[in-house]
Structure 1
Amino acid sequence: MPTEHPSITRFREEHARLGGTGEVVILPDSVHTAALAAAALGCEPGAIANSLLFDADGDPVLVLTSGAHRVDTTATAARVGVPRLRRASPEFVRDHTGQVIGGVSPLAHPSPVPTYLDPWLERHPVVWAAAGHPAAVFSTTFDELRALTGATVVEVE
């Protein structure tokens, strides 16, 4: 039996420690986009919580946004009180989350990361987010995701 990727194991441990109730699903292929994840799970792209790590002048900021939108970085930076949000490099993402782009979960980072949650996700009774690896996802609800992450709800469009 193949062993599980260490980032998925770390996610599972943190998810359980925090009292998460959702199911972790390992998909047969990586799902690097909301559209691919939605197709694999049979849900709308809007029910996918994209975990987008931004570089705010050297500090990480995690935005959990509906797969139905793009983040307006200028408006969101102003709303969260940072000078600007830039796309993070793969190295910055790995350093701050311990995970790779396309598999960044909202949990199980080496250190706490300020996290913001798109209110559009509340429209879906089940929300899916990455579980530490591009082929791993977990089910949750908006309220549970907010509780698990300590996220602040903020408009991101």
Structure 2
Amino acid sequence: MARKSKKQTNGGTPATVALATAGTAYTLHSYEHDPAAPSYGEEAAEALGVDPGRVFKTLVATVDEELTVAVVPVSATLDLKALAAAVGGKRAAMADPAAAERATGYVRGGISPLGQRKRLRTAVDATALDHPTICVSAGRRGLEVELAAADLVALTGAVTAPIARF
């Protein structure tokens, strides 16, 4: 089950609260975030000593003008055409960062696919299912949550599809 931290004991982030409420098994990992790091996801993988293929970043895009969450490995880039196809859309583009922050309730670099202010449709790259567990943001920079990919998919109502480009 989850490791308790002082922050988590005091209510945690919306992501950890959502996991606890659902009764989902997870492990919380924290590290000292470096504001100068060029990539939040790669920084997390390196700081935690985890294969970058198991650490997933949460990106927000617009698909046919609707905000949509894409969860892809930090070692890959998002294939916007594949994302649009995965959610039954035609055209996708990266969302405005301010719109992503408003809709999710999280800051850039700390956007979690869990516990968002407004539940957005979500697509998780199919490679997530290749691993017993994956890491995603727990809702703030320097905090990751490790959980089974199937649990992430179930909790977010996500579709799984090959949406990453390696």
Bin for the TM-score computed over the shorter chain: 0.7 to 0.9
Partner of 1:123: 130
Is the CA contact (8 Å cut-off) linking 1:7 and 1:133 kept in structure 2? no
Partner of 2:13: 9
Partner of 1:110: 117
TM-score by length of structure 1 reads 0.87
Render the CA deviation track for 1:85-134: whole Å, top value 9, x for unaligned: 21112211111100011111111111211011111112222211001111
Q: 4+ residue stretches of structure 1 with deviation over 6 A?
A: none
**How far apart, CA to CA, are the structure 2 residues paired with 1:112 and 1:64?**
14
- Matched residue SS, 1:39: helix
Q: Which has the higher strand share?
A: 2
**How far apart, CA to CA, are the structure 1 residues paired with 2:11 and 2:40?**
19
Q: 1:22 aligns with which of 15, 20, 26?
A: 26
**How far apart, CA to CA, are the structure 2 residues paired with 1:45 and 1:8?**
25
Gaps of 5+ in 2: 1-5
**Any residues of structure 2 matched to 1:29-44 within 5 Å, and which?**
29-30=33-34, 32-44=39-51
- Matched residue SS, 2:56: strand
CA RMSD of aligned residues (A): 2.2
Is the CA contact (8 Å cut-off) linking 1:130 and 1:136 kept in structure 2? yes
**How far apart, CA to CA, are the structure 1 residues paired with 2:12 and 2:140?**
6
Partner of 2:97: 90
Gaps of 5+ in 1: none
Is the CA contact (8 Å cut-off) linking 1:47 and 1:121 kept in structure 2? yes
Deviates more, 1:11-20 or 1:109-118: 11-20
- Matched residue SS, 1:101: coil
Correspondence 1:66 to 2:70: no
One-letter amino acid of the structure 1 residue matched with residue 142 of structure 2? A
